């Protein structure tokens, strides 16, 4: 999946792995079921002189065509559930200690970002506010505090595999750990009004020196 969309956060690969597991297991059963289906159609096609029969499927030798695959699918489900719970815990329920916290505010139809200034703390005089551009340091753990000023939005960073609803009146905390420098897309993934389609932003994952220089350049003059 890396070839389709780069994995720029620490947990992107595990989410992709889970999607791949689901794809392979469901794909295997889909191909097998369709194969059997079409084979049965061909095998029992209309033939001259042979009357069709009504089959209830209650006989043991017929019922096993259902029960055996059913049991095997349930075994596959166990693997999917184990994988899903592990990824869900890692991404959504486990909150690692952050290096920094940023605030992400959705509104019709823009993203506002509140970054900590040189003191590293949020809600202090040197905070840096930007619109549609989020700047983070590579290989650091970030908490994000996600809110909305008006309606439902969804903070989506495809290369991080993040997709989190923003709900008015509620602050939702999540986390990410960028592992690749570069500029990546941010999008709103919840229909939020007529301008939803243009509610895009960018996340700039910078090296430590680049990020320090950016903070120094953009810190409010009053805080310096």
Partner 1 sequence: MMPSLRSAAVSAGLCLAAVLGACNRAPPTPGMARGEALFDTCVPCHGAEGHGNRELGAPNIGGLPQWYVEAQLRKFQLGHRGANPFDTVGLRMKSMSLALDLEGDLESVAQYVASMARTRSAPVLTGDARAGQTSYQVCVACHGPSGQGIEAVNSPPLAGQSDWYLLAQLEKFKKGWRGTNPEDISGATMRPNAMILDETAMANVIAYIQTLQ
Q: In the bound complex, what is the minimum distance in angstroms from residue 219's beta carbon to partner 1? A: 15
Nearest to partner 1 of 91, 105 (CB atom): 105
Q: Which helix (H) or strand (E) holds 36?
A: helix 12-43
- Report in angstroms how near the CB of residue 124 gets to partner 1 at its nearest: 16
Residue in the block written with tokens 């916290």: 101
Cβ proximity to partner 1, 87 vs 134, nearer residue: 134
Residues at the contact surface with partner 1, assessed by CB under 8 A: 105, 107-110, 112-114, 129-131, 149-150, 193-195, 197-199
* Shortest Å, Cβ 206 to partner 1: 20
218 vs 167: CA distance, rounded Å: 29
Which is nearer to partner 1, 15 or 186 (by Cβ)? 186
Instruction: Quickly tell me which residue has 């549609």 as its tokens.
Output: 132
85-88 contact pairs (CB < 8 A, 24+): 86/14, 87/11, 87/14, 87/15, 87/17, 87/18
Q: Least Å distance between CB 200 and partner 1?
A: 9
- Is residue 48 within 8 A of residue 33, CB to CB? The reply is no
- Name the residue nearer to partner 1 (CB basis): 39 or 129: 129
Least Å distance, CB 130 to partner 1, is 7
Comparing C-alpha atoms, which of 163, 110, 116 is closest to residue 136? 116
Q: Which pair of structure tokens corresponds to residue 181?
A: 């420098």
> Whose Cβ is closer to partner 1: residue 119's or residue 150's?
150
Instruction: Show Cβ contacts of residue 77 under 8 Å, excluding neighbours closer than 6 positions.
Output: none
């Amino acid at each position: 999946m890396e070839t389709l969309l780069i994995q720029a956060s620490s947990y992107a690969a595990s989410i992709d792995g889970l999607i791949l597991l689901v794809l392979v297991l469901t794909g295997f059963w889909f191909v097998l079921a369709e194969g059997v289906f079409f084979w049965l159609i061909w095998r029992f096609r209309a033939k001259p002189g042979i009357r069709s029969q009504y089959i209830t499927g209650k006989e043991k030798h017929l019922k096993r065509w259902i029960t055996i695959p059913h049991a095997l699918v349930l075994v596959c489900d166990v693997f999917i559930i184990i994988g899903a719970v592990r990824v869900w815990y890692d991404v959504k329920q486990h909150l690692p200690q952050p290096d920094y916290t940023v605030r992400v505010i959705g509104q019709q139809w823009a993203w506002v970002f509140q970054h900590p200034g040189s003191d590293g703390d949020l809600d202090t005089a040197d905070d840096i506010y930007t619109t549609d551009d989020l700047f983070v340091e590579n290989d650091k753990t970030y908490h994000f505090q996600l809110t909305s000023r008006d309606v439902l939005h969804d903070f989506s960073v495809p290369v991080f595999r993040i997709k989190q609803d923003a709900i008015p009146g509620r602050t939702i905390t999540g986390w990410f750990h960028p592992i690749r420098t570069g500029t990546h897309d941010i999008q709103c993934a919840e229909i939020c009004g007529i301008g939803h389609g243009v509610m895009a932003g960018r996340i700039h994952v910078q090296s430590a020196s680049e990020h320090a220089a950016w903070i120094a350049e953009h810190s409010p003059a009053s805080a310096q």
